[in-house]
Amino acid sequence: MTVSTMPVLKHVRTAATVVAIATAATLAGPAPDASAVSSCQPWCSQTWNNSGQGFYALKNWCKSSGGTGSYTTKKPTCNNQKRKWLDPGERTKGTQDWDVFQVKKGRCFKVDFELQPGSDFSKKYNRKNKKTIYVKVANNAFAKVRSSIC
């Protein structure tokens, strides 16, 4: 290469880099607003329905006490409570915070809890002839409902 072509190649590489960065930014889209980012990051609670029947997940636990797997018979109703029906095979989004799932009267759930970090464990909720319960899933946990038969 001659000395006179070096500056030209440098400008070509710089232009190519700028084009590549601009293309990547266009494909990725605008950065999300700070308000759109969930407060549960890096881990949001998540419930998976690996059972044969649907059930509800709820947004808010509404209690100041209790850990993953604990439950209450009082329906959580704070903060404009939202609920989502989970069909078999569905799960709540990992970028949203769904802290509770419902076990209706007469149903039984076998649930595997996975904690990030922490010790995984399984629990059975037998509501045959008992009241409906609402089970907590903390921000660092996944609840995998694997059976809904007593």
Higher-pLDDT residue of 60 and 36 is 60
Confidence of residue 3 (pLDDT cuts 50, 70, 90): low
Query: Residue 7, SS3?
Result: helix
Confidence of residue 41 (pLDDT cuts 50, 70, 90): confident
Higher-pLDDT residue of 3 and 64 is 64
SS3 labels along 52-121: CCCEEEECCCCCCCCCCCCEECCCCCCCCCCEEEECCCCECCCCCCCCEEEECCCCEEEEEEEECCCCCE
Higher-pLDDT residue of 19 and 40 is 40
pTM for the structure as a whole: 0.72
C-alpha to C-alpha distance for 111 and 127, rounded to whole angstroms = 14
Predicted confidence at residue 108, as pLDDT, reads 94
Query: Residue 122, SS3?
Result: strand
Q: Is the pLDDT of residue 140 over 80?
A: yes
Higher-pLDDT residue of 2 and 62 is 62
